[in-house]
Structure 1
Amino acid sequence: MARRVALVTGGARRVGAEIVRSFAVRGYDVVLHHGSSPDAANALTAELQRAHDVRIEIVQEDIADVHAPQRIIDAAMRAFGALDVVVSSASVMMMHPFDAVTPDEWDQTSAINLRAPFFLMQAAARVMRDGGVIVQLSDHLAFEAIFPHLIPHQVTKSALTQLVRTTASAFAPRLRVNAVAPGLVLPPDELSDETIERFLRDVPLGRSGTPLDVAQAIHFLVDAPYVTGIVLPVDGGRHLRR
């Protein structure tokens, strides 16, 4: 039986690295995309290939480049000749007050968080094997308005949610498209301990999430053949307050 192949964008560090690791543990060959973290990508690849009988193909591309999604898919097909799962993990979150956001920052956020995932799906859908799965990383902030210094991020993740619904309909029944919406996972350094503690008061499970929590949710969606077009909260129950 042919080995399954997964592509993970933004897969060298943080949550993306845990997603790559989770596919390797499950015996997938993996296309590990990164933008500017070659050392981390090489170290993760060496670790996983020592521990598991899998192949890892590293692809470096600036995901904000309009041609990068097609080049990433082309590299995946050259390496493995097939593609079963695509996870769009690459993302950017610029923190600025509302009146300090610049047009360049708005465009950069949109290019990475929204345009690249769309064109990656477009290119992937042409070559993925029947029964393939696409998973987008949304954000609980797509549904909340509590951080006005994150407006470009919130708006693009909200639009990504609608993109998941639309493409799930367009690609069915051959492919499935879903998303996970993590809550507080690996909070940015700019958030104070006080802000984090205040945030966690509204999380019924009483803790922040981990990259493994996100990876496990992704694999639920990959392995659930009758689920498409949903955004799965991975937020410790915080969505219950909405």
Structure 2
Amino acid sequence: MTTGTPIDLHGKVALVTGSARRVGRHIALRLAACGMHVVVHYGSPASAPEAESAAAQIAAHGVQAQIVRADLGDPAQIAMLFEQIQARFGRLDLLVNNAAIFPRQTLMAASLAEWHNTLMINLTAPFLCAQSAARLMLAQESGGAIINIADLSAFRNWRAYALHGVSKAALVKLTEAFALELGSKVRVNAIAPGPVLRDEGNSPEAWQQIGERLPIGTTGHPNDVAEAVVFLAAQPFITGVTLRVDGGEYLL
């Protein structure tokens, strides 16, 4: 039986994949503000300066930041990522599988290479990361939590992003399967964000219109996702759920 008291995150260790920029960076900074030590992961060498600046912002909260570059398309580098975390901290309390790719591709036009690459980064890498994280968490008395970042394409059909949608739908199912298998020691949940970050393809005017059609009347912010991560990380009686942070877009 749980006590109903949120878990204290202070002093615990979190890994956020793809946390040098975009939503992952916001998640990492919010966890640091909660007193967590944060592993800043990035994949592309071009993201190194952003990883360095993210780590500096994390350290400003009085916690430790570890920067690790790893290609999530390479299982050996994923294993190395967790070896470095084990060597530095000796523990891991929270994994946020945030890194993803967003290929604009239909199923009929997709090549086998595109299919494999999308599933590798968006599904297989989270699977391997969850396996490695769970092994560390199961070995520690306090257990831990895993949060997978999906999106609404897991539930809605985005024809131009069909490959992406397939991978995210599978990620939601993976979340449920891990939650059932890992039981009380490791809680596993997912978050499905809606429009929280404007990309270059949307003008400010178009972005405003996207928000106006939502039931809540406005678009969100990456911090909305970060707050959802903190909530799920701290709740001892929630596992196997996908929390939609979408301003009600799923209802439309």
Contact preservation (8 Å) 2:71, 2:78:
no
1:190 aligns with 2:201: yes
CA shift, 1:187, in A, is 3.4
Letter in 1 for 2:78: P
1:3 aligns with 2:11: yes
CA shift, 1:48, in A, is 2.4
Letter in 2 for 1:40: E
Question: For residues 142-193 of structure 1, what are the alpha-carbon distances to aligned partners after superposition, in whole Å with 9 as ceiling and x for unaligned?
Answer: 1001x21101100000000000000000001111000100001213323466
Q: Which residue of 1 aligns with 2:251?
A: 240
* TM-score normalized by the length of structure 2: 0.89
1:154 aligns with 2:165: yes
How is 1:1-242 mapped onto 2 (pairs within 5 angstroms)?
3-36=11-44, 37-49=47-59, 51-128=60-137, 129=140, 130-145=142-157, 147-191=158-202, 196=207, 199-241=210-252
CA shift, 1:141, in A, is 1.1
Letter in 2 for 1:207: T
Q: For the residues of structure 1 that align with 2:19 and 2:180, how far apart are their CA atoms?
A: 27
Q: For the residues of structure 2 that align with 1:179 and 1:172, how far apart are their CA atoms?
A: 15
Q: Which residue of 1 aligns with 2:5?
A: none
Q: For the residues of structure 1 that align with 2:165 and 2:203, how far apart are their CA atoms?
A: 20
Contact preservation (8 Å) 2:208, 2:219:
no
Q: For the residues of structure 1 that align with 2:41 and 2:127, how far apart are their CA atoms?
A: 16
Question: For residues 85-105 of structure 1, what are the alpha-carbon distances to aligned partners after superposition, in whole Å with 9 as ceiling and x for unaligned?
Answer: 000110000113454322222
User: SS of the counterpart of 2:147?
Assistant: strand
CA shift, 1:108, in A, is 1.0
Contact preservation (8 Å) 2:176, 2:240:
yes
Q: Which runs of 5+ in 2 are unaligned?
A: 1-7
Distance 1:194-1:150 versus aligned 2 partners, 3 A rule: farther
* TM-score normalized by the length of structure 1: 0.92
CA shift, 1:65, in A, is 1.1
User: SS of the counterpart of 1:126?
Assistant: helix
Aligned sequence identity (%)? 39
Aligned residues: 239
Letter in 2 for 1:140: L
Q: For the residues of structure 1 that align with 2:226 and 2:181, how far apart are their CA atoms?
A: 25
Contact preservation (8 Å) 2:208, 2:218:
no
Question: For residues 86-131 of structure 1, what are the alpha-carbon distances to aligned partners after superposition, in whole Å with 9 as ceiling and x for unaligned?
Answer: 0011000011345432222221111000000001111111111333
CA shift, 1:212, in A, is 0.2
CA RMSD of aligned residues (A): 1.9
Q: For the residues of structure 1 that align with 2:212 and 2:62, how far apart are their CA atoms?
A: 43
Letter in 2 for 1:3: G
Q: For the residues of structure 2 that align with 1:193 and 1:102, how far apart are their CA atoms?
A: 34
Q: For the residues of structure 2 that align with 1:121 and 1:47, how far apart are their CA atoms?
A: 26
Q: Relative to structure 2, which stretch is displaced further, 70-79 or 223-232?
A: 70-79
